[in-house]
Amino acid sequence: MDAAFWYVIDNGIALESSYPYTGKDGKCKYTQAMKAWGINDCAEIAANKSAALKSAVATQPVAIAVEADTLQFQFYSRGVFSGKCGTDLDHGIVLTGYGNLDGKDYWKCKNSWGASWGQQGYILLARDNNDGPGQCGILMENAVPLL
């Protein structure tokens, strides 16, 4: 995630409407004429600290890493996910908030697999408010852009 932020610091980033995500390998076609936004820096959130991540997402979305290679994660469809996954981080998603559903605390995360995955592109990852790696490693590696 830091590498992506450093790219944006150096080059800026386009709106999805002018350079849509295709989910396919290919040559980058980005040009400076497409630049819609830039950032000045990025910062990491304290690893394995639930309160730090909760505080950060209360201010802005947070780039997070999770382990997403399990079938339970990949076929998630609804509810608070507390299924099988580990802490071998292999996928970046965006933490957009947190809440409680039917007495279960969760982190609300937007995935890049499209609106047909999960709950219209989102997953609710179990949140136990304890320090440590968290569900699917959600607390281990997080960063935010700084304008």
The residue extents of the domains of the chain are 1-39, 41-146
At residue 31, the pLDDT reads 94
For the record, the structure tokens of 81 come out as 């996910």
Q: What is the C-alpha separation between 63 and 76, in angstroms, rounded? A: 20
- Residue pLDDT, tens place only, 30-86: 999 999 999 999 999 999 999 999 999 999 999 999 999 999 999 999 999 999 999
Q: What is the C-alpha separation between 44 and 106, in angstroms, rounded? A: 21
- Residue pLDDT, tens place only, 80-119: 999 999 999 999 999 999 999 999 999 999 999 999 999 9
CATH number of 41-146: 3.90.70.10
The H or E element containing residue 99 is strand 91-101
pLDDT over threshold 90, residue 6: yes
Q: What's this model's pTM, rounded to 2 decimal places?
A: 0.90
- Residue pLDDT, tens place only, 13-44: 999 999 998 888 999 999 999 999 999 999 99
